[in-house]
Amino acid sequence: MRVIYRGNLDGVVCAVILKEVGLCDEVKIVHPTDLQEGRIDITGEDIICDLPYHPNCNMWFDHHSSELDKPNFPKEFTGVADVAPSAAGLVYKYFLPDFPELKKYEDLVYETDLIDSAQLTQEQVMNPEGTFLLGFLLDSRTGLGYYKDFRINNFIWVNRVIDWLTQHSVLDILDMEDSVERIAKYREMQIVAERFYLDNSILDRNVIITDIREKKIPPGNRFLIYSLAGLAKGNISVRLASGKNGEFNMISIGYSIFVKTSNVHVGKICQQYGGGGHKRAGTCQPSIEDTERIFKEIIHACKD
């Protein structure tokens, strides 16, 4: 089977569990929009994890509430789709009764739940270690994929982490050469990232607004902005960045993980513009010509 997954810790752990139970021979990192717009050929040999449903797939596991609300939500499929902290948790619970040896991944799944549902402390955001650090290194939103001077590129490294997690501890993986150089880059750029987001963000009432189109983004985890002076009082962020090859733009919305007072449903807002997500986080990819209008509409929708 081929596992189609989102290239973050949640998707990686889904693939690890499927590999452990003998259902993962090949992996492919896919962006949700590529799947939704039919740019990926899906067959009965594919298992989709942490991504939108495709009727041709063999199995599907997803935890995004926006998927459950779609009018074309499938009535029958093999797998699990439910609101949960992570897709990895759904995969784990689905297979655990028949594969009790999966119990060795219990702590990894628990920490994946915390990271994917943003249940983190300020210390874990500012000085991440262990699984929390690995999660930020894997997250494309951290920005390490923009750097091409690593020994192996990010796609290869992320895919290799799947194999490594079936054989090694998280701490051992973080000590490996290709991880060490990413950790060094991440830490080296922490202060640079703080300055970058302060220079390119404003607080409009309760909304932290960031426009970083056509700019080189320094590595920094996606929660850093909620701890910065002058922005920390915001309860939700709206970030606008350039998409792949400048063909579209990316708008990312997320609740502050420290000021927990926003009540808007982010996934439903993004769904209006062809994207999706959870109540507290989501993305959409507007066309270049529609970006300004959609950006303003989303900011307005996020204001208290």
Residues in the chain: 304
Nearest CA among 273, 293, 279 for reference residue 33: 273
State the pLDDT at residue 235: 98
pLDDT averaged over the chain?
Answer: 94
pLDDT (0 to 100) of residue 55: 95
Q: pLDDT digits over 23-48, tens only?
A: 999 999 998 888 888 899 999 999 99
DSSP string, 246-303: GSSEEEEEEE-SSS------HHHHHHTTT-EE-SSEEEE---TTTHHHHHHHHHHHH-
Return the ∠ at Cα 194 (arms to 193 and 195), rounded to 5°: 90
Tokens 């740019």 — which residue? 39
pLDDT, tens digit, 9 for 90 and up, residues 261-273: 999 999 999 999 9
Q: Give 222's DSSP letter.
A: T
Separation CA 58–CA 180 (nearest Å): 37
Strand ranges (E), 120-279: 201-204, 207-211, 236-242, 249-255, 276-277
The pLDDT value given to residue 4: 97
**230-255, pLDDT tens digit by residue?**
999 999 999 999 987 778 999 999 99
Question: Does residue 116 contact residue 186 with C-beta atoms inside 8 Å?
Answer: no
Rounded average pLDDT over 117-145: 92
Interacting residues of 291 by C-beta distance below 8 A, sequence separation 6+: 240, 249, 251
State the DSSP code for 217. P
Instruction: Report, as an integer, the average pLDDT of 271-289.
Output: 92
- Residue 66, pLDDT score: 78
Q: How confident is the model at residue 217 (pLDDT cuts 50, 70, 90)?
A: confident
Query: Can you give the pLDDT at residue 263?
Result: 95
Q: Average pLDDT of 155-161? A: 94
Query: Global pTM?
Result: 0.84
Tell me, letter by letter, the H, E, C secondary structure of 47-90. EEECCCCCCCCCEEEECCHHHHCCCCCCCCCCEEECCCCCHHHH
Q: Which domains does the chain have, with CATH numbers?
A: 2-182 (no CATH), 192-302 (3.10.310.30)
- The pLDDT score that the predictor gives to residue 245 is 74
pLDDT for 210: 97
Residue 301 CB coordination number (10 Å): 16
State the Cα–Cα distance between residues 120 and 224, nearest whole angstrom. Answer: 11
| pLDDT tens-digit readout, 52-109 | 999 999 999 999 887 887 888 998 999 999 999 999 999 999 999 999 999 999 999 9
The rounded distance, in Å, linking the Cα atoms of 283 and 58 is 26
Tokens describing residue 122: 């300020």
Instruction: Give pLDDT tens digits for 142-155.
Output: 988 888 889 999 98
Residue for token digits 């959409």? Answer: 284
| pLDDT at res. 140 | 86
Beta strands in 132-214 (DSSP E): 201-204, 207-211
Give the pLDDT confidence score for residue 244 in this predicted structure.
Answer: 77
pLDDT value, residue 63:
94
Question: How many angstroms separate the CA atoms of 57 and 253, rounded?
Answer: 29
Encode pLDDT of 295-304 as tens digits: 999 999 999 8
How does 71-86 read in b/e, with b if 16+ C-beta sit within 10 Å? eeeeeebebbbeebbb
pLDDT at 120 over 80: yes
Helix, strand, coil share of the chain (percent; to 5): 45, 15, 40
Cβ neighbours of residue 107 closer than 8 Å, sequence gap 6 or more: none
